[in-house]
Chain A
Amino acid sequence: MKYVDEYRSAEAAAAIATELRTLVEPGSHVKLMEVCGGHTHAIYRHGLDALLPPEVELVHGPGCPVCVIPMGRVDDAVSIAERPEVIFTSFGDMLRVPGGRRRSLLEAKARGADVRIVYSPLDALAIARDEPGREVVFFGVGFETTAPATALTLLRARELGVANFSVFCNHVLIAPALRAILDAPETQIDGFVGPGHVSTVIGTRPYDFIAREYGRPVVVAGFEPTDILQAIALLLRQLRDGKAEVENQYGRVVRDEGNPEALAALDEVFAVRDDFEWRGLGPIPHSGYRIADAFAVWDAEERFEVPGARIEDPKACRCGDVLRGMAKPYECGVFGTACTPEKPLGTCMVSSEGACAAYYAYGRHRQKVPA
């Protein structure tokens, strides 16, 4: 497969792995965070951790959109979905996320709610046009990666005058979450493997503050094995040379200025909330999008009454520590026992991009946790 196989070359990966060993001081300890859940997934799917020198520790960041949605918002989604007039549409992996009563959208569907999986918010808009007698709601989830598709769908809804469509908006912003992690005194990260997909939209400049204010290097990376290893090499080289810069390893896709059309659509359709609650991280200022006033008629939170309750994470679940890079998934007491991908307690176990799910699915034989 062109443009994929080249980046999965075992020989190229082995060569970078050899270089990595020359870039670390033996006996030192370097803690790098891969921000994006896509990276976490790729690292465990390809077993890349086996290629790292023992001095390098990877911790998993908050860049998994399913993982950061708090349980109260899932309950809100379920309460909208359970209304008889509603067709509730969502990306597939949100369906299994348990809410406060451990009730997920999938269970709501089995009990009669009309919940449908879509691959794009435009598909949800198409359902609304096909079924004018029903209220079609799209569960908007994701970082600036998926937010432009939601924005374009709302622009299209306005253009077509579709009145029976709305968005339950849970889109979040990556930079404020990284600032929250850098501000947490207990988390000390030496450098960041920057998210690839979200940077195709926002570019690399929103990470400048990490280098400038916090003195930490960032390397935006692609998702193939050699991309991730090369990004780690670039980070180690900066650290060795005492530098803190934002570098772009994923130049074949990411431009420094991002995607101006997508950014313009975000600006038009969304406004930044004063704060938004993140699962495990708590409320973070200016970290979530809401539907802008000009589009309020398509805002599901304006159209439907939702409980809006804040629900504490289950005590036994350490998703918050995992999302801040303070705990490894297998250090959580319920990992692989009370919390599995099939019956998840925490969101990190739901999405295939969640750190717990990636460990459980691909790597649990290395820790010898229950099968």
Chain B
Amino acid sequence: MSDDVVTLAHGAGGKASRRLVEELFLDELRNPLLEPLADAAIVSANGTRLAFTTDSYVVRPLFFPGGDIGELAVNGTVNDLAVSGAVPLALTAGFVIEEGFPIDELRAIAHSAARAAKAAGVSIVAGDTKVVERGAADGLYLTTAGIGILDSRVGLDPSCVRPGDRVLVSGGIAEHGIAVMIARGNLALELDVDSDTAPLHELAQALCALGPGLRWMRDPTRGGLATTLNELAWGAGASVVLDERAIPVREDVRAACELLGIDPLYVANEGKLVAVVAPDAAEAALAALRAHPLGAGAALIGEVREDDLPLVLADTGFGGSRIVDMLVGDPLPRIC
């Protein structure tokens, strides 16, 4: 690891984050269950295969249009389990609270975490609270962990992905990241965008019904769709070619991105999933997503191609193509 101090880039979900995880954490903690670096680890116990995951939330502001940190932390962990092909079973929550934090805000956050858990059909079965001195944390940080039971119908792994497979996304991208940026209030932009934070377990289970036709799923959070698809390309050893015009982006979100000079492909989502399916399962997968209210805007956005350089490419519509690289640096500090 050549870096000598941690910078915000290490937390942005792009190349520096990946380096930190691979060259420091994986290097020290290496074991076969951690090694795939998937959204959740797969652990077997007495013949039952469980998905097990954890995630910390440091979003600022804590309350934003369409949600708050409590709901986000529950949905995020539910989604990591869901896209691993698991039915969420139970969650835990650890609160790090800054001295002076208002009790009514804490209650509101706990309340919305409970509501989100109920909506996802899980319970928060254990928890922890720590209070730190004023200035040692920015209000409140929240860590959730979760376990789920793997769906026996599918075996999801980038190595299952084949050239010709199709890529789908469950709806319009970039809404969470833009909603949070605008909620910070320093952009002087007025736009009515809510975070898309939502539990994806039902959408994921609808796709699991496709059986082996479903190859791989992810929820493109920090780093956006571009980062998630780059991880897919590496994992699969193949290129992902996107039809840029087919990627759903709400008109006002696209306009905000255009004004801010940000590519929506790199903006975080908290209620969307991206899936790779066999070519003959593509129409059924699209129909399954569209049949659910959270997947009404689903679209086929690209396909997997054999390539000696695993890259994500976008057809620009002008006869050329461009690379859609991983995020470098940190355009959107602390959005999840």
Contacts and interface: CB of A to CB of B under 8 A. Distances in A.
Interface string B301-336: 000000001110100111111110100110100000
Given A46-B322, A95-B329, 14 more contacts: A1-B254, A10-B319, A13-B318, A44-B322, A47-B321, A51-B319, A51-B320, A92-B329, A110-B6, A123-B186, A363-B323, A365-B311, A365-B321, A371-B311
B49 interface: no
A1 B322 CA distance: 22
A77 to B, nearest CB: 17
Contacts of A17: 319
Interface residues of A, number: 37
B128 to A, nearest CB: 29
A185 to B, nearest CB: 34
Contact of B5 (A14, A44, A96, A107): A107
Contacts of A363: 322-323
A365 B328 CA distance: 18
Contacts of B255: 1
A292 interface: no
A106 B322 contact: no
A96 B323 contact: no
Contacts of B331: 92
A69 to B, nearest CB: 17
Binding site of A, secondary structure by majority: helix, strand, loop or mixed?
helix
Binding site of B, secondary structure by majority: helix, strand, loop or mixed?
loop
B16 interface: yes
Given A365-B313, A368-B309, A47 B6 contact: no
Chain B interface size range? 20 to 34
A47 B186 contact: no
B164 to A, nearest CB: 20
A371 B320 contact: no
A343 to B, nearest CB: 8
A361 B318 contact: no
Contacts of B313: 365
Nearest to A111: B5
Contacts of A4: 258
A342 interface: yes
A95 B187 CA distance: 19
Interface in A65-124: 92, 95-96, 106-107, 109-111, 119, 123
B322 A109 contact: no
B9 interface: yes
Contacts of A341: 325, 328-329
B320 A49 contact: yes
A319 B148 CA distance: 52
B317 A109 contact: no
B131 interface: no
Contacts of B318: 10, 13-14, 46-48, 50-51, 225
Contact of B319 (A47, A96, A342, A362): A47
Interface in B264-321: 309-311, 313, 316-321
A1 B253 CA distance: 10
A237 interface: no
Contacts of A50: 318-320
A229 to B, nearest CB: 9
Contact of A364 (B186, B317, B323): B323
A45 interface: yes
A5 B311 CA distance: 27
23 contacts: A1-B255, A10-B317, A14-B319, A45-B322, A46-B320, A47-B316, A47-B319, A47-B322, A48-B318, A49-B320, A50-B319, A50-B320, A51-B320, A96-B329, A106-B8, A110-B6, A110-B7, A119-B186, A123-B186, A360-B325, A362-B322, A363-B323, A365-B321
B115 interface: no
A362 to B, nearest CB: 4
B251 interface: yes
A106 B7 contact: yes
A342 B328 contact: yes
B173 to A, nearest CB: 15
A40 to B, nearest CB: 13
Interface in B240-262: 251, 254-255, 258, 261
A361 B323 contact: yes
A51 B318 CA distance: 7
Nearest to B308: A368
A13 B309 CA distance: 29
Interface in A301-357: 341-342, 352
A48 B311 contact: no
A14 B186 CA distance: 40
Contact of A47 (B15, B261, B320): B320
B309 A365 contact: yes
Contact of A45 (B15, B186, B187, B316): B316
Contacts of B311: 365, 371
A352 B328 CA distance: 10
Most buried by B among A14, A109, A362: A362
B316 A46 contact: yes
B12 to A, nearest CB: 11
Given A111-B5, A362-B323, A363-B323, A1 B317 contact: no
Contacts of B319: 10, 14, 17, 47, 50-51
B16 A342 contact: yes
B9 A365 contact: no
Contacts of A365: 309, 311, 313, 321, 323
A110 B322 contact: no
A48 B16 CA distance: 30
